[in-house]
Amino acid sequence: MISNSFLSRILIVNLINLFLFTGVSSAQPGALDSKFSTGSGFLFETGKSAAIYSMVLQPDGKIVVGGQFVSFNGNKCSHIVRLNADGSFDESFNTGFGFNNPVRTVSIQADGKIIAGGQFTSFDDKQQNHIIRLNADGSKDESFNVGSAFNDVVYASIIQPDGRIVTGGKFTNFNGTWQNYVSRLNADGTIDVLFDAEKGFNDIVYALALENDDKIVAGGIFTAFNGSTANRIIRLNADGKADGSFNSGTGFDNDVRALTVDANERIIAGGYFSGYNGKNNGYIVRINTNGTLDETFKTGTGFNGSVLSLLAQNNNQVIAGGYYTAYNGTDRKNISRLNSDGTIDNSFNSGKGTNGGVIAVREGKKIYLGGGFTTYNDAAANQICRLISEPYIISVLPASSVCAGSVVKVEFSSEGTFNEGNIFRFSFQILLEFSEMRQS
């Protein structure tokens, strides 16, 4: 039988050969991704600042961006554009003259078609009131027939798994039918009569989030829904009626501007508020599924300014963007990541942050920020940038086994900035699995 000490000697030799390698590249979470290059970025009219209000990632890595701008990196594009995965202008997405006013929300369907809503009343020089569906090439989808559509701004949109589209905003009418600040459309653009919110809201809906059971969370500046008190947040059943199992008590004391739902179906809300249901919260809060405050999410003094965008990651960490300079006494400028218990994630290092507000946050394999900024951590980033989300996890298997029948697996993670040509030392754990071997 081959001795364990003999196996160990072979293993050590193989590991020495295995780990003297070069050319690994990685970066700390929160670092700017230099492989995403947007050149001069977005521009708007003279004397007015460009801003990104909404973004959505396609499965192919391209990103659709909506906001207030008329060009990107020298290319004309009115309030909507699609970027390639490397940040360059996607010439295959042609919207003609584009929109006449800002796009506030973009969503993507399973078939690649794009829902856009906002302040606009025309698209490609033709009347189009506040909502449209675009084909994957940027042209108008004529099969989405919304008639005269909405009479005012659409601020939020979500697409249900069945293809129906929930919208929230400043509107009170859709194609001649009363729809007070919330509506659901069928896939063909007609109003969904099965979604009956009755009197609806008494004021603007700024944010929507969809739960796994198709219940809809709405946030905004409203104080009532269908004649009953609902201070700036409510959950609706799939039929548009208020969900009686969600009790927010006195609700929020100021606007809700951002909503997201985490993996445990808890609701995270951000906005201009300082309190929820009688308890102080610095512009961010997590709410249990029954509407009560989740007191395990301990934010301390919270943020010192507004939260306008939220992203719940799969591990229940939360990325919060907005206009602020600190979180619970720690310097953070407009972008932060919080742990699932509400403490700040110090491994996410945004440095000096952005020099303007972060209004939109999205995630693929990395994190995308959009807003009114022109720098990130003192580096040029005109209204959009991409950040490293997590350090790379590298798994290495030896080219040849220690000996017949044995398995060696090595895993490690890394943080920091690595340069081409460096040689590194690593700490790692080794799991050996081998069957009994006999010499023949």
Chain segment 22-55, per-residue pLDDT in tens: 333 446 899 999 999 999 999 998 778 899 999 9
Is the pLDDT at 4 greater than 60, yes or no? no
Which tens digit of pLDDT belongs to each residue from 124-174? 999 999 999 999 999 999 999 999 999 999 999 999 999 999 999 999 999
Mean pLDDT of 371-376: 97
**What are the distances in angstroms from CA 135 to CA 28, 104, 246?**
37, 18, 37
d(CA 96, CA 112): 19
Of the candidates 96, 311, 299, 342, the one whose C-alpha atom is nearest the C-alpha of residue 209 is 311
Q: pLDDT band for 404, please (50, 70, 90 cuts).
A: very low
Residue with tokens 């965008």: 309
- How many helices (H) and strands (E) in the chain? 1, 39
Secondary structure element (H or E) that encloses residue 14, with its range = helix 4-19
Query: pTM for this structure?
Result: 0.85
Of the candidates 170, 160, 308, the one whose C-alpha atom is nearest the C-alpha of residue 240 is 160
Is the pLDDT at 411 greater than 90, yes or no? no
Domains, the chain, ordered by start? 4-23+397-434 (no CATH), 42-393 (2.130.10.10)
Ranges 99-103, 161-165, 294-298, 408-412: which has the least confidence: 408-412
Q: How many CA atoms lie within 13 A of 67 on its CB side?
A: 33
Of the candidates 238, 259, 263, the one whose C-alpha atom is nearest the C-alpha of residue 248 is 259
Of the candidates 333, 385, 312, 413, the one whose C-alpha atom is nearest the C-alpha of residue 31 is 385
Q: What is the DSSP string of 236-303?
A: E-TTSSB-TT---TT-BSS-EEEEEE-TTS-EEEEES-SEETTEE-SSEEEE-TTS-B-TTS--TT-B
**In this structure, are residues 33 and 387 in contact, taking their beta carbons and an 8 Å threshold?**
yes
Longest dimension (CA), the chain: 87
Which tens digit of pLDDT belongs to each residue from 226-260? 999 999 999 999 999 999 999 999 999 999 999 99
* Structure tokens belonging to residue 425: 């030392």
End-to-end CA distance of the chain: 9
The count of other CB atoms within 10 Å of the CB of residue 27 is 19
The count of other CB atoms within 10 Å of the CB of residue 403 is 13
Q: In the predicted model, what is the mean pLDDT of the chain?
A: 87
Q: Give me the amino acid identity at 137.
A: D
Task: Provide φ and ψ at 311, rounded to 5°.
Answer: -140, 120
Sign of CA dihedral 151, 237, 162, 156: positive
d(CA 4, CA 12): 12
CA dihedral 229, 231, 233, 238 (to 10 degrees): 10
- DSSP, collapsed to helix, strand or coil, labels residue 9 as helix
